[in-house]
Amino acid sequence: MSYLEYTVKHTPSGLRKVLYLNWPLALLLTAVAAIGILMLYSVAGGTFNPWAEPQAKRYALGFAVMFFVAMVPIWFWRNMSVLAYTVSVLLLIAVELVGVEGKGAQRWIDLGFMRLQPSELMKVTLVMFLAAYYDWLPLKKTSRPLWVLLPVVLILVPVALVLRQPDLGTSILLITGGGLIMFLAGVHWAYFAAVLAAIGGLVTAVFKSRGTDWQLLADYQYRRIDTFLDPASDPLGAGYHITQSKIALGSGGWTGRGFMQGTQSRLNFLPEKHTDFIFTTLAEEFGFVGAISLLMLYALIIVFCVTSALANRDRFSSLLTLGVAVTFFLFFAVNMSMVMGLAPVVGVPLPLVSYGGSAMLILMLGFGLVQSAHIHRPR
Amino acid sequence: MKRPTRDNTESQRRITRRGLVLGGGMAGFVGLLGLRMRYLQVDQADQFRLLADENRINIHLIPPSRGRIFDREGRVIAENIPSYRINIIREQAGDLEDVIARLSKLVRLNPEELKKAREDLAKLRGDTPVTVADRVSWEDISRVAVNAPALPGVTPEVGLSRHYPMGEDYSHVVGYVGPVSDRDLERIDAPDALLLIPRFQIGKIGLERRREDTLRGKAGTKRVEVNAAGRVMRELDRVEGEAGADIQLTLDNALQSYITARLEGESAAAVVMDCDTGDLLACSSTPGYDPNLFVRGISQADYSALLDNKYRPLPNKAVQGVYPPGSTFKMVTALAALEDGQVDPNETVYCPGFLKVANRRFHCWKRAGHGNVDLHRSLRESCDVYYYDLALRVGIDKIAEMAKRLGLGLEHDLPMTSVAGGLIPNKLWKATSRGEDWRIGDTANAAIGQGYVLSSPLQLAVMTARLATGRSVSPRLVRSVDGVEEPPNRGEPLGLNENTLREIRQAMYAVSNNRRGTAYGSRIIEDAFRMAGKTGTSQVRNITAAERARGVFRNEDLPWERRDHALYVNFAPFEVPKVAVAVIVEHGGGGSTTAAPIARDITLQALYGDDPPLDAYPSKDRGRIKTQQEQLRSRLDRRGSEDSDRA
Of A247, A310, A336, the CB nearest to B33: A336
Domain for residue B531, yes or no?
yes
Do B322 and B217 share a structural domain?
no
Last residue of a domain, one of B249, B274, B294: B249
| Rounded Cα distance, B220 and B194, in Å | 9
Domain for residue B341, yes or no?
yes
Higher pLDDT, B587 or B1: B587
Do B374 and B262 share a structural domain?
yes
How do residues B391-406 score in pLDDT, each as one tens digit?
999 999 999 999 999 9
Give yes or no for a contact between A5 and B2, defined as CB atoms under 8 angstroms apart.
yes
Q: Which chain B residues contact residue A310 at CB under 8 A?
A: 15-16, 19-20
- pLDDT, mean of residues B175-179: 91
Q: Which chain B residues contact residue A292 at CB under 8 A?
A: 34, 37-38
pLDDT score, position B644: 54
Any A CB within 8 A of B552 CB: no
| Rounded Cα distance, B195 and B206, in Å | 19
Domain for residue B446, yes or no?
yes
- pLDDT, mean of residues B226-243: 79
| Rounded Cα distance, B623 and B83, in Å | 47
pLDDT score, position A12: 78
Domain for residue B621, yes or no?
no
Of A7, A246, A267, the CB nearest to B233: A267
> SS3 string of B495-545?
CCCHHHHHHHHHHHHHHHHCCCCCCHHHCCCCHHHCCEEEEEEECCCCCCH
The answer to whether the bond into B487 is cis (omega within 30° of 0) is: no
pLDDT score, position A230: 67
Cα separation values, B567 from A60, A259, A286, A366, B262, Å = 102, 83, 85, 107, 15
| Rounded Cα distance, B111 and B466, in Å | 55
Distance, in angstroms, between A326 CA and closest chain B CA? 9
Phi and psi of B133, rounded to 5°?
-145, 125
| Mutation for testing the B interface, residue in A267, A280, A284 having most B CBs under 10 Å | A267
Higher pLDDT, B602 or B58: B602
Do B234 and B262 share a structural domain?
no
Do B388 and B448 share a structural domain?
yes
Give yes or no for a contact between A17 and A70, defined as CB atoms under 8 angstroms apart.
yes
Contact A250 B45 (CB under 8 A): yes
Amino acid letter, B227: N
Q: Quote the Cα angle for B431-B432-B434, to 5°.
A: 70
Do B259 and B241 share a structural domain?
no
| SS3 (DSSP) at B57 | strand
The top-scoring range by mean pLDDT among B219-228, B324-333, B357-366, B560-569 is B324-333
Confidence of residue B358 (pLDDT cuts 50, 70, 90): confident
Domain for residue B629, yes or no?
no
- Closest residue of A to B26, CA-based? A329
Distance, in angstroms, between B182 CA and closest chain A CA? 29
Please identify which of the residues B171, B267, B284, B327 carries the catalytic annotation: B327
Contact B38 A186 (CB under 8 A): no
Of A180, A268, A295, the CB nearest to B22: A180
Those residues of chain A that have pLDDT short of 50 are: 1-4, 104
Q: For chain B, how are helix, strand and coil distributed in percent, rounded to 5? A: 45, 20, 35
Percent of chain B with pLDDT over 90: 54
Task: Taking the CA atoms of B251, B253, B255 and B261 in sequence, report the sign of the dihedral they define.
Answer: positive
Give yes or no for a contact between A209 and A216, defined as CB atoms under 8 angstroms apart.
yes
Do B283 and B174 share a structural domain?
no
Q: Is B619 a catalytic residue?
A: no
Confidence of residue B5 (pLDDT cuts 50, 70, 90): very low
How do residues B275-303 score in pLDDT, each as one tens digit?
999 999 999 999 999 999 998 888 888 99
Do B183 and B124 share a structural domain?
yes
Do B520 and B454 share a structural domain?
yes
Interface contacts A/B by beta carbons within 8 Å: 143
Amino acid letter, A221: Q
| Rounded Cα distance, B400 and B403, in Å | 5
- pLDDT, mean of residues B80-109: 84
Helix (H) or strand (E) holding A207: helix A189-209
Do B566 and B443 share a structural domain?
yes
Last residue of a domain, one of B208, B224, B249: B249
- pLDDT, mean of residues B506-533: 93
Do B448 and B526 share a structural domain?
yes
Domain for residue B642, yes or no?
no
Do B289 and B199 share a structural domain?
no
pLDDT score, position A327: 93
Contact A269 B227 (CB under 8 A): yes
| Rounded Cα distance, B56 and B589, in Å | 71
Interface confidence (ipTM) of the complex: 0.90
- Closest residue of A to B36, CA-based? A340
Domain residues for the domain of B428 are 253-305+314-616
- Closest residue of A to B1, CA-based? A5
Contact A299 B27 (CB under 8 A): yes
Confidence of residue B620 (pLDDT cuts 50, 70, 90): confident
Contact A267 B55 (CB under 8 A): yes
| Mutation for testing the A interface, residue in B33, B42, B53, B227 having most A CBs under 10 Å | B33
Amino acid letter, B584: I
A102: alpha, beta or left? (left if phi > 0; alpha if psi -120 to 50): beta
Any A CB within 8 A of B549 CB: no
Contact A267 B42 (CB under 8 A): no
Helix (H) or strand (E) holding B263: none
Q: Which chain A residues contact residue B16 at CB under 8 A?
A: 310
Of A7, A263, A313, the CB nearest to B56: A263
| CATH for B383 | 3.40.710.10
Do B338 and B234 share a structural domain?
no
Kindly report whether the global pTM for this prediction surpasses the value 0.90.
no
| CATH for B68 | 3.90.1310.10
Number of domains within chain B: 2
Percent of chain A with pLDDT over 90: 42
Give yes or no for a contact between B185 and B193, defined as CB atoms under 8 angstroms apart.
no
| Rounded Cα distance, B371 and B349, in Å | 8
Task: Taking the CA atoms of A303, A304, A305 and A309 in sequence, report the sign of the dihedral they define.
Answer: positive
| Rounded Cα distance, A265 and A274, in Å | 9
| Mutation for testing the B interface, residue in A251, A301, A308, A330 having most B CBs under 10 Å | A251
> SS3 string of B2-17?
CCCHHHHHHHHHHHHH
Domain for residue B19, yes or no?
no
Chain B residues 204-243 within an 8 A CB cutoff of chain A: 225-229, 233
C-alpha closest to that of A173 among A364, A69, A323, A63: A323
pLDDT at B3 > cutoff 50: no
| Rounded Cα distance, B327 and B638, in Å | 38
How do residues B124-133 score in pLDDT, each as one tens digit?
766 677 888 8
Contact B41 A249 (CB under 8 A): yes
Domain for residue B266, yes or no?
yes
